[in-house]
């Protein structure tokens, strides 16, 4: 899955792909599948309220098998942790959400043989321009909101100025994250034409607690465009 893109001036943009991140419960996974999300995200970061153990991820992965693609989110993880998670959860994608360099991303892509996504924190045009350096090293960049120093690197419900990535056409596939909710995702897509949207806290009733109705509403808002 590589995301939607423009094929020609006369063609409408395909429906953006949807990733529901931070899934911890079987019911939330089922809700994402029912709503026709393309990706389920499992967070492997102990400081996050959405963290899952490898055993929990393995059980969710077995339930997801053949129904939705499985993305593992990591923050500056070492090879041992990555290898354990990839094997246990049979991950389809690695999402890097720390300070991983293009060289590190390319190394992991080669080692594990699955697509690698890199989340980039955005607050300015300079942050967006960093995506160019990941061309050839990753399969997708995710433009996410920059969070305050000392806080979690994502999943805090913060957004950035979407005009910074409006109709972005860089050298690598991309997606939009950061503060997306059922109420604002259509506006975000109208402005950016993002081929993929990624939500986590935007479909929760409390930190780490997914809401099935919000998951359904988010996906409907995307698919109705």
Tell whether the model's pLDDT for residue 5 goes beyond 50: no
Picking from 32, 17, 8, 13, the residue whose alpha carbon sits closest to that of residue 216 is 32
Q: Mean of the per-residue pLDDT values for the chain? A: 91
pLDDT for position 149: 54
Give the model's pLDDT for residue 2: 37
pLDDT of residue 10: 43
Element (DSSP H or E) covering residue 109: helix 102-112
Asked if residue 158 has pLDDT above 90, the reply is no
CA 201 to chain centre: 12
User: The dihedral of CA 207, 212, 215, 217: what is its sign?
Assistant: negative
What's the rounded Cα separation, in Å, for the pair 51 and 72? 11
**pLDDT tens digit sequence for 89-134:** 999 999 999 999 999 999 999 999 999 999 999 999 999 999 999 9
Confidence (pTM): 0.90
How many residues are there in the chain? 225
- Name the percent of the chain lying above pLDDT 70: 89
Q: State how far the Cα of 88 lies from the Cα of 203, in Å rounded to an integer.
A: 26
What pLDDT band is residue 175 in, cutting at 50, 70 and 90? very high
Give, in words, the CATH class of 17-223: alpha beta
Q: Which pLDDT does position 191 carry in this prediction?
A: 96
Least confident interval from 73-77, 81-85, 144-148, 201-205: 144-148
pLDDT of the residue at 31: 98
Query: What residues act catalytically?
Result: 21, 144
Q: Which residue has the higher pLDDT, 203 or 149?
A: 203
pLDDT at 199 > cutoff 80: yes
Whether the predicted pLDDT of 184 surpasses 60: yes
The pLDDT of 130-139, averaged and rounded, is: 98
Give residue 80's pLDDT band: very low, low, confident or very high (50, 70, 90).
Answer: very high
Q: Dihedral of the CA atoms 171, 157, 202, 174 (nearest 10)? A: 0
| pLDDT confidence of residue 156 | 52
pLDDT digits (tens, 9 = 90+) for 17-74: 999 999 999 999 999 999 999 999 999 999 999 999 999 999 999 999 999 999 999 9
Q: What average pLDDT score do residues 190-217 get?
A: 97
Q: Please provide the DSSP assignment of 157-224 as one string.
A: -----GGGGTT---SSEEEEESS--TTTHHHHHHHH--SEEEESGGGEEETTEE-HHHHHHHHHHHHT
**What is the Cα–Cα distance from 43 to 41, expressed in whole angstroms?**
6
Q: Which helix (H) or strand (E) is 49 found in, with range?
A: none
CB 134 within 8 A of CB 118: yes
């Amino acid at each position: 899955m590589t995301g939607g893109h423009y094929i020609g001036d006369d063609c409408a943009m395909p429906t953006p792909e949807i990733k529901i991140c931070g899934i911890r419960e079987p019911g939330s996974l089922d809700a994402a599948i029912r709503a026709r999300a393309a990706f389920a995200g499992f967070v492997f970061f102990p400081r996050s309220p959405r963290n899952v153990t490898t055993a929990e991820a393995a059980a969710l992965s077995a339930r997801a098998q053949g129904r939705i693609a499985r993305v593992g989110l990591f923050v500056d993880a070492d090879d041992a942790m990555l290898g354990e998670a990839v094997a246990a959860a049979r991950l389809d994608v690695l999402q890097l959400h720390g300070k991983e360099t293009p060289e590190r991303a390319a190394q992991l892509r080669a080692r594990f043989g699955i697509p690698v996504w890199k989340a980039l924190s955005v607050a300015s045009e300079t942050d967006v321009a960093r995506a160019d350096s990941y061309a050839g090293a990753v399969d997708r960049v995710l433009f996410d909101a920059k969070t305050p120093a000392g806080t979690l690197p994502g999943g805090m419900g913060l957004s950035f100025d979407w005009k910074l990535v409006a109709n972005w056409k860089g050298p690598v596939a991309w997606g939009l994250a950061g503060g997306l909710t059922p109420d604002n995702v259509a506006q975000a897509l109208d402005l950016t034409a993002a081929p993929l949207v990624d939500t986590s806290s935007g479909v929760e009733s409390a930190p780490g607690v997914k809401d099935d109705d919000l998951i359904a509403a988010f996906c409907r808002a995307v698919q109705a465009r």
